[in-house]
Amino acid sequence: MTKIRNSIAVCKEIFGSWHYRALFFGITIGFVLFQIWLAHYSMIAFVFRNDVFSSTDRVEVLWSAVVTFTTLFPFDVKFLAVITTVLVGINITSLVYYLRRQTRILRNVGGSTVGILVSMVGVGCSACGSVILSSLIGFGAATRLLTFLPLNGKEFNLLAIGVLAFSTYWIMKKIVDPRACHVKV
């Protein structure tokens, strides 16, 4: 229970500054837009590659991608995306706070990076498949893999939430007790 209280106290300390709150909201909004636009990559790329579309049309396409995410995707997909995005925002904000206080954090940077990358593997939908996964192993193989998974690819988001939560906890722990090793006396 003390560890949870320490983490909450660290969050209050970090987010007590408007700089870190602004960083958190910027990262969170940027990451959710990145996820949404990555799920609609082919449509957005088509519009931006063709000179037929005006800049107003391009902005409308970007906005329509956001609207379709809020209306078209099922609740569980939106819920997992929001949880992942908030954890990414907290994780990166905490990491920036910690990096400003400490100079060595190689293990925690790696954990944060892994969590963020794993969360991006599942971006997409179960109908058309994961955008990143299909580009890594091919569309057909990704579609087959997603049909064999019991949650249709949401496993990647759940794994990312676990990795990000652990990484955020680890960073909070390092902020509370920044010593590299404990010496028993």
Question: Over the stretch 140-174, which tens digit does the pLDDT of each residue have?
Answer: 444 555 555 566 666 666 777 777 777 777 777 77
Q: What is the mean pLDDT of residues 47-69?
A: 90
Rounded Cα distance, 45 and 24, in Å: 28
pLDDT > 90: percent of the chain: 16
pTM recorded for the entire structure: 0.63
Q: What integer best gives the mean pLDDT of the chain?
A: 73
Per the model's pLDDT, the better-predicted residue between 124 and 96 turns out to be: 96
pLDDT value for 59: 92
What does the H/E/C string look like for the chain?
Answer: CHHHHHHHHHHHHHHCCHHHHHHHHHHHHHHHHHHHHHHCHHHHHHHHHCCCCCHHHHHHHHHHHHHHHHHHCCHHHHHHHHHHHHHHHHHHHHHHHHHHHCCCCHHHHHHHHHHHHHHHHCCEECCCEEHHHHHHHCHHHHHHHHHHCCCCCHHHHHHHHHHHHHHHHHHHHHHHCCCCCCCCC
Burial of 183 (0-12, 13-18, 19+ CB in 10 A): exposed
